[in-house]
Amino acid sequence: KGARRGRECRQLKLGGIRATELVEQFGSPLYVVDEDQTRATAREIRDALRSEAQRIGTDAKVYYASKAFLCVEVARWMDEEGLPIDVASGGELAVALAAGVDPQNIGFHGNNKSEAEIARAIEVGIGTIIIDSEIEVERIAAAASAAGRTQSVRLRVNSGVHASTHDYLATAHEDQKFGMPLSEAPAMVRKIVAHENLNFLGLHCHIGSQIFATEGFRESAERLLSVYGELSEITGGPIAELNLGGGFGIAYTPDQAGEAPDVREIARQLADIVKQACDDAGLPLPKLAFEPGRAIVGQSGVTLYTVGTTKRVQLAGSDAAADPADHGYGERIYVSVDGGMSDNARPALYGSDYHVRIANRVSDAEPALVRVVGKHCESGDIVVYRDELPGDVSPGDVLAVAATGAYCWSLSSNYNYVPRPPVVALRNGEARIIVRGETENDLLALSVTE
Ligand code: LLP
């Protein structure tokens, strides 16, 4: 951190279009997503995971975890690229269906799906429902019999692996709300197979999100497979699937570029582990399944903002530069932009890092330490905690914040009655709106006035 990257040398283009042109046409702030890149990344990840599974003699299904970013267009892209969709609510299900996704290609997650959501999912013929608790076994079986259907289900378990990521993003240690302890899997599967209208596909585990260390994935696969022999005795046949969730981390800043895991490498290691574990236990190979979200859309998104005010805070000799990374800088420029935690809650929620640059002009000014902040009434309203920009950054400049494709629009809010910005997709050098921006009237319309 803090390494000087040198001076800005060109105006920023996104998908072949100048960032300033996008802001002129669609306004600021603006979410921009590169459709070509998103599709290419989806194909690349799908192919990496599938070809490694095929190498060991099985296959893999790669779902898109739609919570990362979903709208009708994105669901269509994934569908066209051959990725089934993972949803976690009735709302996400409705978007996937509106996009024309075959319900059989949808998986439904959640630790507290409502009875109405379960009934709707079964009624439309959803491919799989991931059971998250014992209570859901009965609920799903009852809904399936009411609909006169047989429902395929997976069982979410905690592998007990402690993924090295932010606490809020780790989901496979024992003391958290998702899934069942692995030790309870046999009892749960007994309950599942007691229902004729439930078809048990296999275990599911998602160890967390934004994970850089690959051991967790391997360890989880091994732990889950260690009960497959026992489970197949209960079901009376081989267990069809092993779903290892998503969570592949991405680089948010240039410093992280070399550290983020390569999905092909994870796939290769996992395939080897799965093959070994199955061979050792004399088990048939299950089909593998994955559900990455961030790794597919994260890096194809950029948010454009316009600078409103700047303010200089002296660090030298004050207590301001509490962070050693700031030592050596005389001052920090607070650069306020026209959005903030309402369009990107991640820095406030997880202390996430982002990378910013000036998009509208070339500057010869010396790099200065900046903190890009939003317009909301909270000091935690930070867009970029620490980065460098040319020292002459000033009102009217357009800033581009990289890697905002995942969990930015989807976690957005209307805090302070700030309308959500639109999302523009870039393809073949052309830009089009795929999610409309909100207006003040949209927000006012929510208040009951009579
Ligand atoms: N599968 C399941 C069951 C999940 O819960 C998640 C993410 C995924 C797949 C996709 O994970 P990914 O590949 O995108 O890491 N709001 C947080 C991330 C929360 C992730 C929740 N579950 C963030 O902004 O970092």
Domains and CATH numbers, the chain: 13-33+299-444 (2.40.37.10), 35-298 (3.20.20.10)
- Closest residue by Cα to atom 22, ligand 1, is 209
410 CA: nearest ligand 1 atom:
16
Q: Bridge partners of 312?
A: 333
Rounded-to-5 percentages of helix, strand, coil across the chain:
35, 25, 40
Question: Is the beta carbon of 292 within 6 A of some atom in ligand 1?
Answer: yes
Does any ligand 1 atom lie closer than 6 A to the CB of residue 92?
no
Going from the Cα of 68 to the center of ligand 1, the distance in angstroms, rounded, reads 7
What is the full per-residue pLDDT of the chain (450 aa) written as tens digits? 344 454 445 789 999 999 999 999 999 999 999 999 999 999 999 999 999 999 999 999 999 999 999 999 999 999 999 999 999 999 999 999 999 999 999 999 999 999 999 999 999 999 999 999 999 999 999 999 999 999 999 999 998 887 666 666 666 667 788 999 999 999 999 999 999 999 999 999 999 999 998 899 999 999 999 999 999 999 999 999 999 999 999 999 999 998 999 999 999 999 999 999 999 999 999 999 999 999 999 999 999 999 999 999 998 766 666 677 887 888 999 999 999 999 999 999 999 999 999 999 999 999 999 999 999 999 999 999 999 999 999 999 999 999 999 999 999 999 999 999 999 999 999 999 999 999 999 999 999 998
Is any ligand 1 atom within 6 A of the Cβ of residue 144?
no
3-state secondary structure of 310: strand
CA distance 155 to 314: 55
Spacing, Cα 247 to ligand 1 middle (Å): 6
Q: What residues are designated binding site?
A: 247, 291-294, 346, 350, 378, 407
CB-based contacts of 416, cutoff 8 Å, min separation 6: 342, 375, 376, 377
DSSP letter, residue 30: E
What distance lies between CA 415 and its chain's CA centroid?
22
Residue 204 CA: which ligand 1 atom is closest?
3
Which residues have a Cβ under 8 Å from the Cβ of 227 and sit 6 or more positions away?
182, 185, 186, 203
181 prior amide bond cis, ω within 30? no
Residue identifier of the C-alpha nearest atom 3 of ligand 1: 206
**What are 333's two structure tokens?**
């420029």
291 lines ligand 1 (CB under 6 A): yes
Question: Which bin fits 428, alpha (ψ -120 to 50), beta or left (φ > 0)?
Answer: left
In angstroms and rounded to an integer, the radius of gyration of the C-alpha atoms of the chain is 24
Atom 9 of ligand 1, nearest CA residue: 246
Angle, CA 257 vertex, CA 173 and CA 33 arms, to 5° = 90
> What separation in Å is there between the alpha carbon of 66 and the centre of ligand 1?
9
Count Cβ neighbours within 10 Å for each residue of 316-336 and write b for 16 or more, e otherwise. eeeeebeeeebeebebbbebb
**By the 8 A CB rule, do 216 and 249 touch?**
no
> How many CB atoms sit inside 10 A of residue 232's CB?
17
Q: How many Cα atoms sit within 13 Å of 237 on the Cβ side?
A: 7
CA pair distance 154, 132, nearest whole angstrom = 9
pTM of the predicted model, to two decimals?
0.95
What is the whole-number distance in angstroms between the Cα of residue 424 and the centre of ligand 1? 23
Distance CA 355, CA 30 (A): 16
Q: Catalytic residues, which ones? A: 377
- Residue 110 CB less than 6 A away from ligand 1: no
- What ipTM goes with this model? 0.99
- State the DSSP string of 314-343: E-TTSS---SGGGTT-SEEEEEEES--TTT
pLDDT value of position 253: 97
Identify which of 98, 35, 44, 10 has the alpha carbon closest to the alpha carbon of residue 359: 10
- 152 within ligand 1 shell (Cβ under 6 A): no
Residue of minimum CA distance from atom 7 in ligand 1: 209
Closest atom of ligand 1 to 171 CA is: 5
d(C-alpha 241, C-alpha 151), whole Å: 15
Q: What is the pLDDT of residue 11?
A: 85
> Which atom of ligand 1 is nearest the CA belonging to 406?
24
C-beta of 347 in contact with ligand 1 (< 6 A): no
Q: Are 43 and 275 in contact (CB under 8 A)?
A: no
Cβ–ligand 1 distance for 305 under 6 Å, the answer no
Cα 320 to ligand 1 centroid, rounded to whole Å: 34
Q: Where are the beta strands (DSSP E) in 144-282?
A: 151-158, 180-181, 198-204, 241-243
* Ligand 1 atom at shortest distance from the alpha carbon of 63: 9
- Could you identify the atom of ligand 1 that is nearest to the CA of residue 211? 15
- Which residue from 41, 67, 87, 210 has its CB within 8 A of the most atoms of ligand 1, so it is best to mutate? 67
DSSP 258: T
Residue set of the binding site for pyridoxal 5'-phosphate: 247, 291-294, 407
Distance 442 CA to ligand 1 centre (A): 29
pLDDT at 8: 46
249: Cβ below 6 Å to ligand 1? no
Quote the ligand 1 centre to 201 CA distance (angstroms).
22
